[in-house]
Every structure is written in structure tokens, then in C-alpha cells.
Structure 1
Amino acid sequence: MSIIGPRPILWNQFDLIEERGKYGVNDIYQGLTGWTQINKKDEIYAKAKFDSEYVNKMGIAFDTFIFIKSIQVVISNKGIREGYNNMNI
């Protein structure tokens, strides 16, 4: 596992495993944060699309950009939250 890369997925997310496999995403190291997370995508095909973009663009400069952007997303507290309906409560 690395710091930057596609997030690990659950073993039972068969659709996502298959979709990511088409783009070679399953063949690289998984990470704690990635392109999909800073773009706040949580839908299967959107995840696969952003993960495939990462595979095509991965490198030191892109990883540094994702790392800095991830810190900004965490500090702003405006990311995807499981089970949260995005209403201001």
C-alpha cells in the first residue's frame, strides 16, 4: 500500500472490481487517498473513471498535487460521508 493511489475496495464490490480491471487499476498499489477521493466521487463508474485517469497520469508531480489537495479537502471537511445526506444539519 502507498500513500497515493486508488483506494482499496471491498472484496464483494464485484462491479467495481470488474470495471477497474478494464483500466489496469487493480494492478497498481492501492493508496490511502487518491484522485477519486479529492474529486468526491462515490458512484461505481465514476470511481473507475477517476481511478483509470490516475493510472494514466500517475507520477511524482501528480501524486504531490493529490497529496496537497487531499490535505485541503480534509481541512475543509467537505468530502463524501457514508450515510450522510449532505444536508446542513
Structure 2
Amino acid sequence: MKKFLNVIVSLVLLVLLSPLFIIVGVIIKLNSKGPVFFTQVRIGKNNELFKFYKFRTMKVGTPNVATDKLDKSKSYVTTSGKILRKTSMDELPQIINIIKGDMVLVGPRPALYNQYELKELRTKVGVHTLRPGITGWAQINGRDNNDDHEKTRHDAYYLNNKSLKLDALIIFRTVFKVLRAEGILEGSIIKARDEEISQERSQANRHEDLSV
């Protein structure tokens, strides 16, 4: 039933948003060389890979890795891409993924094929059995501010508490998060955050070793 409702809602959204798709597509083509859509291999349900769609926000030739793995990531973002990323409009083509059956509206965000740590953490707690979503519990509870462990903890909460009521709450809160552009970090900021977290964990481990 959930999958059927997702497909119906997505078809309606695709029809309603088709003028916006055309406008955004024209702006992208006028703003930079390259295709309108950006495709990427992501991890889906049961760790199966699928082709993931977004509006292109990066320059052609940008390394196909997570943004936090890029040095000076802002230099790769196109002018129109800055607006699309800030408003999360670049995520709209994932409606096509829902219609294809790769994704749903609400679920854990699909990891990149080479985000091995996140894949392993999710698999350990059973999150990999869920179909990935455009938005999810982790998205409204930190988004880019979350590291892989925090994302997995939020995803596990959703796995154990999923319901139509929770989905409705996540969608409602997502709208406000998007309007406020909350939780969006660029690559350099994410990298600095992850390095700080790594240092804190290393220090904690050293203290545990000394206490033993």
C-alpha cells in the first residue's frame, strides 16, 4: 500500500511540477555546459545499486564522490547549482526514482556506492532492508550535521518506529527545514566536522586504554 501511494503521489507531483522542471532545465543549460540531469550510482534496498537522479549542480568533470571528499568543493558548484542546493530543488528528479520503484518519499537517504562505512553500519542494524527516501528521520534531525554513526542511529529509529503517521510528520517538518535551508553544509565544513569528531573519538579511546 505504501509503495502504491508513493507512486500515485509522485505521478501527480511530476505532472504538477513539469513546468518547473522545464524552467530549471533551461536555466541549467544556459548557466553551464553539460546535461540537465546528474546521475549517480547509489545504494538501494537490500544494498542493491540503482541509478539516482538529481538536477545537475556541479560543473562537468567534477570527481564523482561525496561532496565532503572534494577539496574546495564550492569551486565545483555552478551559479544555478548554489540556488538549487540551498533550496533542495536539485532533489526533485528523485520523483522519477520513486515511480521506477527505486525509492519512496520517506526513508533513509540513499548512500553513495563508495560510502562503505555507512553501508556497513546500516546493514548491521537492518536499515538496508528499507527502501531509501527523498527525505527521512535523519534529514530532519541534523541532515549534513550528522556523521555516519548518527545517521545510522536515526535511520534505525525510523526502522523500528515507521508508520504513516511518522511519515506525515517527517514530510511536514521537511518542508520547514527546506524553507529555512537548515542542516546544509558544504564539503569543507563537513570535512572539518568529521575530523573533529574523529579526534574526539581517538582521545576517548586513549582515555579508555589508560583507565584499563
> Which residue of the partner structure matches residue 50 of structure 1?
154
**Any gaps of 5 or more consecutive residues in structure 2?**
1-102, 190-212
State the identity %: 38
Q: TM-score scaled by structure 1? A: 0.89
C-alpha separation in 2, matches of 1:71 and 1:84 = 26
The one of 13, 21, 26 aligned to 2:128: 26
Distance 1:11 1:42 in 2: 19
Work out the CA distance in 2 between the residues paired with 1:82 and 1:66: 23
The residue that corresponds to 1:76 in the other structure is 180
The residue that corresponds to 1:3 in the other structure is 105
| C-alpha distance in structure 2 between counterparts of 1:19 and 1:49, whole Å | 9
Inter-partner Cα distance in structure 1 for 2:156 and 2:105: 17
Uncovered stretches (5+) of structure 1, i.e. residues with no partner: none
Deviation at residue 72 of structure 1 after TM alignment: 0.7
How far has the Cα of 1:82 moved from its partner?
2.6
Counterpart contact for 1:42–1:80, Cα < 8 Å:
no
Higher helix share: 2
Q: Tell me which of the two structures has the higher relative contact order, counting C-alpha pairs closer than 8 angstroms and 6 or more residues apart.
A: 1
Query: Whose radius of gyration is greater, 1 or 2?
Result: 2
Q: How does the TM-score come out when normalised to structure 2?
A: 0.39
Aligned positions, number: 86
Superposed displacement of residue 33, structure 1? 0.4
CA drift at 1:73: 0.2
Whole-angstrom distance in 1 between the partners of 2:168 and 2:115 = 29
